[in-house]
Each structure stands twice: as structure tokens, then as C-alpha cells.
Amino acid sequence: MSTVVKDTHHDEHPSGIMRWLTTTNHKDIGSLYLWFSLIMFFIGGLMALVIRSELFQPGLQFVDPQFFNSMTTMHALVMIFGVVMPAFTGLANWMIPIMIGGPDMALPRMNNYSFWIMPFAFSMLLSTLFMDGGAPAGGWTLYPPLSLQTGDAFPFLIFAIHFMGLSSIMGAINIVATILNMRAPGMTLMKMPLFVWTWLITAFLLIAVMPVLAGGVTMLLTDKFFGTSFFNAAGGGDPVMFQHIFWFFGHPEVYILILPSFGVVSAIIPTFARKPLFGYSSMVYATASIAFLSFIVWAHHMFTVGMPLAGEVFFMLATMLIAVPTGVKVFNWVTTMWRGAMTFETPMLFAIGFIVMFTIGGFSGLMLAITPADFQYHDTYFVVAHFHYVLVPGSVFAIMAAVYFWLPKWTGNMYPETLGKVHFWLSTFFVNLTFFPMHFVGLAGMPRRIPDYSLQFADYNMIASIGAFGFGFAQLIFVYLIFKTIRGGEKATDEVWEGAEGLEWTLSSPPPYHSFNTPPVIK
């Protein structure tokens, strides 16, 4: 590397696999993240289908309870850390340097490192499926003492979490440095697209809480192997302390999973309503408020654990406060569409679906925030319905909306519109078929993470399982559509969408390998 040249215009990069292993280009790395996420989406999806197969009927039919619990645990870890987070990081890599008019990510080598950790960390995690004692089965929340009973998988699980946490922290540092340092002249903070803003705040959350998770799982590791007593009451520790540490990470984490979606939707709605976003600055402040509040609500995940009354009340009220900035956002999106010249291409459909169904998940969240009511809902399928509504028709729909929105830009080809719409409507139908009945069985008392259930829950579970398979197969359309668009199709214009605004639409479709070697002029 001693012969590096400063000119980046006509560089030759290695070909074949070495190109991808050694790349420092933000678009290459963004694509890698997105492909990785797509593959993991199907691995995590298969695990979900194992769960739904087992729950198709009451009684035990396909898998033994231990393996069922492994599936719920691994499904969550894969979907959270292996699908939603890398997908958003992939979008950030692809779009942020372009959106702010920068030449690349601020720290390109570290960018490569952040990505390549992911497949290795997940190989470690998935390899536990074949180990003595099985894969981790104590839930993705890793509560001790249950999680300490994990077999040979345990250290692999802990180190895999450390490893992917390292990736997240480095990725987040890179994004913060990029946004703060790589903007084109004239691109002031309050001119940045909201996707950039939401990612800036998300990255801050990541840097703040991933190390806390690392500390918590390190304590689990030393409790198991080195005789410490952090979570052992006999030695003066407290198992509940783990829950506090975990959820101090875990609650900001759920905003890490949703804030970039807000950014995506805030880009798509104005485009297809052909109106500027209503209340730009209030969107920025609302996002920052949500991020701040996310640090002081964690114990709403553990209302039933036996906290002092003052704690229960504080965490209830603080949690409900989050509805205010979130409401600001939802109203802003609706107001943006108000009297807009709207068209309903696939990205818009997914974005509107996001607003409607994410709001349903938000409302069930508000129900769960009510401490006395939560005593009934806690650890039931109502909770499962709630967080799947915010994560699947929430985060995942936003990711799909983003893919449809930017795929023509990335590939230079338009995707087949009718097929995209079919994908949207099938996904929407089946996602509701899967998760809406879970509200009912949850309120009626069906506990989560149990492979069997009482007979009165049978009908709704059967419906949910049918919905899950339908949703799973509908996603094959998505994969087919992506391949088809990459291979060809109607040529996309530079602007792609009639009402699109932002620097990414000033570049060619697909954009050149290096986007802005000369910074663009910002009006």
C-alpha cells in the first residue's frame, strides 16, 4: 500500500471475490449489507415458519420444546441483528454519502470491517444450532439464570453478540463522522434529508447502548465461567439487575430499529404526494425527543418483576410521553399527503401501509405502557402482536419501501410495477392475518414462547400460521423482482420519480462508482 495515489477517478480495484472482500466503496458495502440482510431475512423467516408450524394446532407435533425455544430465540436474534439493523446500515451506506453530497463514507476501511464482521458473527451464532445442548433457547433477552443453562452454545452466543456489537459501533461511528464531516458546502444540518437526520440520531443511540449490552453479556459470561455473582442473589447480586442492564440497551435498540424507517417514509411520502414534507423541523425535533425519551423508559419491559411503586409510575408516564413526538410524526405524514397530487406506486403503498400499521403497533404499545394493564398482557401473545406490528409492517415494510424507492436509482432499471403492487397487497393481507389474531389470543391469556396452548386458542393460531406461510411465500416475489430488475427492464431516468427531490436524483441511474468527487452546489 505504499504506492497509493491520491487520484480516485480511474482507480483499478481487485476483481472477483477480492473486490468484495477488500472494497472501500460505500455503494459496494451498502449492497453487501443489503444482500446479507436479505439472506438472513429468509433464514430468520424459516425459523418463524418452524414456530408457526408447531403452533398450527395445539399439542406437540413437529419439534421438541427445547428446539422450539431455540427457534424463538434465534428468530429474534437473526431478525433484529441480522436483518433490520444491517438493512438500515446498508441503506445508510448507499444513500447518506449521496444525499449529503460527500465523496464516500468518512472512514472507508472501517466501513468494510463493519460489514465483514456480520457474516462471520452470524456464522458463529448459527453454528450453535449444531452444538451439544442446542442453540440458545432462553429467549433473545438472555435473562439469567435461564440463559446460563445454555450448553456449549453459550460462549459462542456471547462472543457473537460482542462481535456484531463491534460492527454496529464502528458502523455508527462511521455514519456520525460522515454526516458531521462530509457534507457538501451549503448542506447545513437543517437542510439534510430526514433519512440522514434519523440515521444521525440512530447512530448516536447505537454508540451509547451497544457497549452497555456488551458489558451486560460480559457479566453473564463471567457469572458462568469465572465465578462472579453479578446476577446471583446468593453472592449479593441480582438477576433483575440483568434485566435493567439489558433493557437500558434494549429500549433504545427498538428505536434503532424504527428511527431510520421514519426517515425512509419521510422521503417517500412527499415524493408521491408531490408536496414538500410538512413540518420538517418538527420532525427533526420529534426524532431527537424520541431518542432522548428512549433512555428513560426501559423498565416498562419489566413491570411485573417487582419494582418499587415509584418506579412503575415513572416508567409508565415516561413511556406514554413517547406517544407525543411519535404522534407529531404521524400527523406530519398525514398532513403532507393532505391535498397532495398523490399517486400510488409500490414505494408509496408500502409507506402508507407503514403509517397505518405502525400506528396500530404504536397504540398497542400505549396499552402495554399502562402498568396495571400490563400485568395482564405481560409475556402474552399481545406483546408478540405489538412488537411484530411495529417491526414487520413497521421496520420491514419501510425497508421494502426504501428498496422499491431506490432500486431504479441503484440498478438503472425500473422494477415491474404490477408485480411490486401484488407483493405489497399480498404482504399486507398476510401480515395482518398473521399478527392481528395474536392480539385476541394474547388478551385472552395465551403465553408467548410456549410450544403448546390451550384448546380455545386453536382457531386463531391456525389462522396466524396460514398467514405466516402466506407472508413467507409472498416474499419470494420480492426476491424474483429484485433479480429481474437487476438484470434488466425499462430504463430509469435520473430523476426516476416525478416528484422526487434530493441530491440522489441529480446523479445518473445507476450512479457512477464515485458519486461526488466534486461537491455539488446546494441551493
- Catalytic positions are 75, 104, 140, 167-168, 251, 253, 255, 266, 300-301, 326, 329, 448
Is residue 248 a contact residue for other proteins (CB under 8 A)?
yes
Among 33, 81, 94, 156, contact with other proteins (rule: CB under 8 A): 156
Among 59, 130, 185, 488, contact with other proteins (rule: CB under 8 A): 185
User: How far is residue 352's CA from residue 212's CA, in Å, rounded to a whole number?
Assistant: 35
Among 238, 452, 494, 495, contact with other proteins (rule: CB under 8 A): 238
Among 58, 65, 145, 155, contact with other proteins (rule: CB under 8 A): 155
Helices assigned H by DSSP within 55-128: 65-77, 85-99, 108-127
User: Restricting to residues 352-391, which ones interact with other proteins according to CB under 8 A?
Assistant: none
184 vs 466, beta carbon nearer other proteins: 184
In this structure, what are the phi and psi dihedrals at residue 244, rounded to the nearest 5 degrees? Answer: -65, -45
Smallest Cα–Cα separation from 303: which of 289, 315, 319, 295? 315
Is residue 163 a contact residue for other proteins (CB under 8 A)?
yes
Q: Tell me the closest approach of the beta carbon of residue 486 to other proteins, in angstroms.
A: 23
Beta bridge partners of 447: 380
Please give the C-alpha separations between residue 215 and each of 85, 162, 193, 219, 493, in angstroms, as whole numbers.
20, 9, 34, 6, 49
User: Restricting to residues 84-113, which ones interact with other proteins according to CB under 8 A?
Assistant: 101-104, 106-110, 112-113
Is residue 1 a contact residue for other proteins (CB under 8 A)?
yes
Is-contact 139 73, C-beta < 8 A? yes
Is residue 456 a contact residue for other proteins (CB under 8 A)?
no
Stretch that binds other proteins, among 57-65, 209-217, 326-334, 360-368 (CB under 8 A): 209-217
User: How far is residue 248's CA from residue 179's CA, in Å, rounded to a whole number?
Assistant: 26
Q: Tell me the closest approach of the beta carbon of residue 143 to other proteins, in angstroms.
A: 16
Is residue 241 a contact residue for other proteins (CB under 8 A)?
yes
Q: Tell me the closest approach of the beta carbon of residue 187 to other proteins, in angstroms.
A: 7
Is residue 328 a contact residue for other proteins (CB under 8 A)?
no
Among 173, 323, 458, 462, contact with other proteins (rule: CB under 8 A): 173
Query: DSSP state, 370?
Result: S
| Burial group, residue 7, by CB count within 10 angstroms (0-12, 13-18, 19+) | exposed
Amino acid at 128: T
Q: Tell me the closest approach of the beta carbon of residue 488 to other proteins, in angstroms.
A: 29
DSSP code string of 361-395: HHHHHHHHHSHHHHHHHTTBHHHHHHHHHHIIIII
The alpha carbon of 163 is separated from its chain's Cα centroid by a whole number of angstroms, namely 18
Write the CB contacts of 296 (distance below 8 Å, at least 6 apart in sequence): 315, 318
User: How far is residue 73's CA from residue 26's CA, in Å, rounded to a whole number?
Assistant: 32
Length of the chain: 523
Cell of 41: 431475512
Write the CB contacts of 12 (distance below 8 Å, at least 6 apart in sequence): none
Is residue 176 a contact residue for other proteins (CB under 8 A)?
yes
Is-contact 293 309, C-beta < 8 A? no
Stretch that binds other proteins, among 30-38, 224-232, 267-275, 414-422 (CB under 8 A): 224-232
Q: Tell me the closest approach of the beta carbon of residue 236 to other proteins, in angstroms.
A: 3
Question: What track of x and - describes contact with other proteins for positions 24 through 53 (by CB under 8 A)?
Answer: xx----------------------------
Among 177, 450, 463, 466, contact with other proteins (rule: CB under 8 A): 177
Stretch that binds other proteins, among 168-176, 292-300, 473-481, 489-497 (CB under 8 A): 168-176
CA atoms within 13 A on the CB side of 513: 10
Is residue 521 a contact residue for other proteins (CB under 8 A)?
no
Is residue 513 a contact residue for other proteins (CB under 8 A)?
no
Stretch that binds other proteins, among 70-78, 237-245, 347-355, 469-477 (CB under 8 A): 237-245
82 vs 216, beta carbon nearer other proteins: 216
Is residue 276 a contact residue for other proteins (CB under 8 A)?
no
Amino acid at 60: L
Among 48, 209, 265, 268, contact with other proteins (rule: CB under 8 A): 209
Among 190, 308, 487, 523, contact with other proteins (rule: CB under 8 A): 308
88 vs 242, beta carbon nearer other proteins: 242
User: Restricting to residues 6-25, which ones interact with other proteins according to CB under 8 A?
Assistant: 6, 8, 11-14, 18-19, 21-25
166 vs 426, beta carbon nearer other proteins: 166
User: Restricting to residues 120-139, which ones interact with other proteins according to CB under 8 A?
Assistant: 120-121, 123-124
Number of residues that bind other proteins (CB under 8 A): 93
Q: What angle do CA 10, 15, 20 make, to 5 degrees?
A: 100
In this structure, what are the phi and psi dihedrals at residue 491, rounded to the nearest 5 degrees? Answer: -70, 135
* CA quadruple 125, 130, 131, 135: dihedral, nearest 10: 50
SS (H, E, C) 239-297: HHHHHHHHHHHHHHHHHHHHHHHHHHHHHHHHHHHCCCCCCHHHHHHHHHHHHHHHHHC
54 vs 104, beta carbon nearer other proteins: 104
Among 234, 310, 455, 521, contact with other proteins (rule: CB under 8 A): 234
Write the CB contacts of 453 (distance below 8 Å, at least 6 apart in sequence): 55, 58, 441, 446, 461
Is residue 190 a contact residue for other proteins (CB under 8 A)?
no
